[in-house]
Structure 1
Amino acid sequence: MPDPFWRNGMIGKREVIVFFAALSFCFIKAYAAENLSDLREPYNDRYCTTCHGSDGRGNYGIKAPRLAGMEPWYLKRQLENFRAGIRGTHSSDREGIAMQSMAVKLSDSSITDIISWVGSWDYVATEITIEGNESLGQQLYIQCASCHGANGEGNEALGAPALRGQNDWYLATQLRNFIEGWRGSHPQDSLGQQMILMAQSLQNDDGIKNVVSYINTLSRK
């Protein structure tokens, strides 16, 4: 698997071409569903699995994260944030922009149906793609644990999702997005603004790699 991290802050031309080629396929499949009110189960091949995988384990090629095992309350909030333009509108957040264009078509009942359907998927262990210093990452994770839990289990009361079991490349990408302000900077995203402050304490890419490597040790069995 190619290195999912940044090359001196730049994204290679080949990665950009592959991303948009794969993404265009997702759009073509999704475009076929014009009347969403008539679609309950067909999300499985038009809106979710084409990009996120038939079992919801995620798709590294287009940076579509794991959905299987994601908390319903968190999935609901993110779909609503995408739909409302609270997330996925920054020009540098290409994956977010793609997701926002999908979510804007969804009704409340559609979101409810999707959450119920995703909840039926079995969790499958993720592949580890990022390796860092787990010991240093454990120290960095102390502040993460205050919201996300000592074992990365998440905390609904604080609006903090589970981290363990998520694709490590996705966690790294989102931490970078928070640091850069590509995610969480919308005035209505108070939890995102909080994450920006927390993520910026990681300071550099090594910090991100280290904390994500430690989170990998917390992954669900």
Structure 2
Amino acid sequence: MSLKSTLFVLLLAGNASALHASEAITPEGLEYCTVCHGSQLKGNANIQAPRLGGLSKWYIERQLNNFKQGIRGAHTGDVTGSEMQAMTRHLTPSDISAIASWIGQTESPKPEATLHGDLDAGKTLYQGCAACHGADGGGNKAIGAPRLSGINDWYVLTQINHFREGIRGNDQKDIYGQQMKAAVSMVQSDPDAVNLAAYISQLK
């Protein structure tokens, strides 16, 4: 089934009126992503759908393939990941490439901070992250480390905790996820997680 057909079926089952709120110009059929991720792909905290606009094509492709192959989203504690598995099940490689290209070219407003952590403590924790993700959170494609700056702080916190709890990075085929699962061992408490996520959210 093609992407267009898949998303058309989903549109019939969803709230099509939400699509009219999209401010982004989207390829035919791909606008369904905005139902959850919002106009301009700026995210929707109410349903735990993160901001996507501007994320690197290579990273989006990797994550969509991970969802499609059941590498990510299989854990019972990953509710939104399970939803993404269903959304990607029928996507073809060309579909995934088109989605990733569109996301990478879409500009989203910078998300507002929702966490109130200790930024100094978060900065100290981030030193271990900076080796891969960069001091400015810009990422490093050469080693598969995605950009962190510009991501919703609540989403960063959720993913930190998912790695801590083994909800994400528990599949042996998820090489980068397993690396992250090991890396977050430095986050030894819930306050640590909040402080780190709060610091990451203000990187530019």
Match of 1:58 among 38, 43, 50: 43
Letter in 2 for 1:195: M
**Structure 2 CA distance for partners of 1:125 and 1:211, relative to 1, 3 Å:** same
CA distance in 1, matches of 2:12, 2:127: 40
For structure 1, the 5+ residue unaligned runs are 1-24, 31-39
Which structure carries more helix by proportion?
2
Runs of 4 or more above 2 Å deviation = 25-30
CA distance in 2, matches of 1:82, 1:187: 14
CA distance in 2, matches of 1:116, 1:85: 22
Alignment match, 1:86: 71
Deviation at 1:160, TM superposition (A): 0.7
CA distance in 2, matches of 1:200, 1:27: 44
Match of 1:155 among 140, 149, 158: 140
Alignment match, 2:81: 96
Mapping of residues 1-221 of structure 1, within 5 Å: 28-29=13-14, 41-44=28-31, 46=32, 48-219=33-204
Letter in 1 for 2:29: P
Taking every aligned residue pair, what percent have the same amino acid on both sides?
A: 45
Q: Is the 8 A contact 1:26 1:51 kept in 2?
A: no
Deviation at 1:72, TM superposition (A): 0.5
**Structure 2 CA distance for partners of 1:26 and 1:204, relative to 1, 3 Å:** farther
Q: Is the 8 A contact 2:164 2:185 kept in 1?
A: yes
Query: Relative to structure 2, which stretch is displaced further, 75-84 or 97-106?
Result: 97-106
Deviation at 1:199, TM superposition (A): 1.3
Q: Is the 8 A contact 2:68 2:89 kept in 1?
A: yes
CA distance in 2, matches of 1:138, 1:26: 43
Q: Is the 8 A contact 2:52 2:108 kept in 1?
A: no
Aligned residues: 185
Letter in 2 for 1:181: G
Letter in 2 for 1:175: I
User: CA offsets, 1:3-31, max 9 Å, x none?
Assistant: xxxxxxxxxxxxxxxxxxxxxx989339x
TM-score, normalisation: structure 2 = 0.86
**Structure 2 CA distance for partners of 1:82 and 1:26, relative to 1, 3 Å:** farther
CA distance in 2, matches of 1:192, 1:116: 23
Alignment match, 2:19: none
For structure 2, the 5+ residue unaligned runs are 1-9, 16-26
TM-score, normalisation: structure 1 = 0.80
